[in-house]
């Protein structure tokens, strides 16, 4: 028989520990403990579709890193969506993603086609720029008549936005200007080679083009009425809005909080976003974010009015159907959940 190697003193300590544990476990929980337990429901799992390289969506990772999602009861995961806008909105409408963020000017036409998706908050204003050579003789929009503009794709928000501005300047964006599509990383080369007279895109691409090719900015959505109009927006599925409005509210609240934090802490926001744009210096990200207005994040009747105004703009350049009632359209696609 093997000898018992435990000492009497260790046996005594073990019995004392077990007795104390038994007393502790048999004691009733205090009222405060029960209340705390009852008020801590499990976090709601939510998936957000976004473009991980677009600095204009920085409130999304900020909301994660700063804990706003968790504070509002959400366990959020991201899906980096590189497909078309129609595919992204379809993913939300069919619940393959619960929510998504993107640029309003890219979403309005697909939403007109009937996707079951509701916009619930703005993120910020500003992030689209139109650049020209400092020596090319094009210093304003009117001087682009008869010229060529390079864009990243023919349905891009930048093409739509500057088409609107050109139309308001009396320049027909369909007949007086030629548009030419390039991969976004070749826009700088296109203007340097003289293939185009101006280039347009959104940050961070266009910011780096301006910096690396020493170009001048001749127009943007950071001036005039557009300085206080949401550039990027947050949307959820119509199904969520109908059956789980509390989660939609928590998402909108988190993004509003993160947008405000970004406005007050552009350096901190840039550092959070840096891992998603490793080729962009943090100092440049700070400058980009500082040029945007993250204090502007409407989630009420103001947001609905902004979407209506965008729809009117797109009707001006024949993107939105002529017969669309833009007031009814905006009321249909925008939901005020923070009431």
Please indicate, yes or no, if residue 8 is contained in any of the structural domains: no
For residues 204 and 274, membership in a common domain is answered with no
Helix (H) or strand (E) run with residue 76 in it: strand 74-80
Taking 70 as the threshold, does the pLDDT of residue 18 lie above it?
no
Number of other CB atoms surrounding residue 90 within 10 Å:
17
Model pLDDT for residues 92-120, shown as the tens digit of each residue: 998 899 999 999 999 999 999 999 999 99
Please indicate, yes or no, if residue 294 is contained in any of the structural domains: yes
Domain end call among 220, 242, 259: 220
Measured CA to CA, the distance from residue 314 to residue 161 in angstroms comes to 8
Mean of pLDDT values over 145-168: 96
For residues 112 and 141, membership in a common domain is answered with no
Taking 60 as the threshold, does the pLDDT of residue 4 lie above it?
no
Sheet containing strand 178-181, edge to edge, reads 178-181, 148-151, 198-202, 128-132, 216-220
pLDDT at residue 339 in the model: 77
Categorize the per-residue pLDDT at 33 as very low, low, confident or very high, splitting at 50, 70 and 90: very low
For residues 242 and 315, membership in a common domain is answered with yes
Mean of pLDDT values over 48-52: 90
Number of domains, the chain: 2
Mean of pLDDT values over 128-133: 97
Taking 90 as the threshold, does the pLDDT of residue 208 lie above it?
yes
CATH number for position 147: 3.40.190.10
Parent domain of 175: 128-220
Please indicate, yes or no, if residue 11 is contained in any of the structural domains: no
For residues 141 and 213, membership in a common domain is answered with yes
For residues 261 and 114, membership in a common domain is answered with yes
Please indicate, yes or no, if residue 29 is contained in any of the structural domains: no
Model pLDDT for residues 230-253, shown as the tens digit of each residue: 999 999 999 999 999 999 999 999
Please indicate, yes or no, if residue 12 is contained in any of the structural domains: no
For residues 133 and 120, membership in a common domain is answered with no
For residues 216 and 170, membership in a common domain is answered with yes
For residues 97 and 194, membership in a common domain is answered with no
Domain end call among 220, 242, 273: 220
For residues 247 and 292, membership in a common domain is answered with yes
Please indicate, yes or no, if residue 31 is contained in any of the structural domains: no
Domain end call among 220, 236, 268: 220
For residues 102 and 113, membership in a common domain is answered with yes
For residues 238 and 321, membership in a common domain is answered with yes
Cβ proximity of 45 and 251 under 8 Å: no
Residue 307 vs residue 89, higher pLDDT: 307
Categorize the per-residue pLDDT at 39 as very low, low, confident or very high, splitting at 50, 70 and 90: low
Mean of pLDDT values over 78-83: 82
């Amino acid at each position: 028989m093997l000898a018992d190697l435990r000492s009497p003193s260790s046996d005594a300590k073990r019995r004392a520990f077990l007795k104390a544990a038994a007393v502790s476990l048999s004691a009733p929980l205090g009222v405060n403990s029960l209340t705390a337990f009852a008020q801590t429901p499990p976090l709601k799992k939510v998936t957000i579709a976004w473009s991980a390289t677009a600095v204009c969506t920085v409130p999304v990772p900020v909301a994660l890193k700063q804990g706003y999602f968790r504070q509002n009861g959400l366990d959020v995961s991201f899906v980096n969506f590189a497909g078309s806008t129609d595919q992204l909105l379809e993913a939300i409408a069919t619940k393959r993603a619960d929510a998504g963020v993107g640029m309003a000017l890219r979403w309005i036409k697909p939403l007109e086609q009937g996707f079951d998706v509701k916009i619930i908050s703005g993120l910020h204003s500003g992030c689209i720029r139109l650049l020209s050579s400092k020596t090319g003789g094009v210093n304003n929009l009117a001087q682009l008549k008869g010229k060529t503009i390079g864009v990243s794709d023919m349905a891009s928000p930048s093409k739509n936005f500057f088409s609107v501005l050109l139309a308001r300047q009396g320049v027909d964006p369909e007949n007086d200007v030629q548009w030419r599509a390039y991969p976004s990383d070749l826009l700088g080369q296109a203007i340097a080679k003289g293939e185009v007279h101006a280039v347009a895109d959104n940050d961070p691409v266009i910011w780096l083009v301006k910096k690396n090719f020493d170009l001048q900015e001749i127009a943007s959505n950071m001036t005039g009425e557009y300085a206080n109009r949401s550039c990027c927006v947050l949307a959820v599925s119509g199904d969520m809005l109908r059956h789980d409005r509390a989660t939609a509210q928590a998402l909108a609240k988190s993004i509003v909080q993160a947008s405000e934090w970004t406005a007050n802490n552009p350096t901190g926001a840039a550092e959070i976003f840096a891992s998603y744009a490793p080729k962009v210096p943090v100092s440049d990200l700070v400058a980009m974010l500082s040029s945007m207005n993250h204090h502007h994040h409407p989630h009420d009747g103001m947001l609905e009015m902004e979407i209506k105004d965008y729809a009117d703009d797109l009707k001006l350049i024949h993107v939105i159907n002529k017969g669309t009632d833009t007031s009814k359209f905006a009321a249909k696609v925008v939901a005020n959940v923070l009431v």
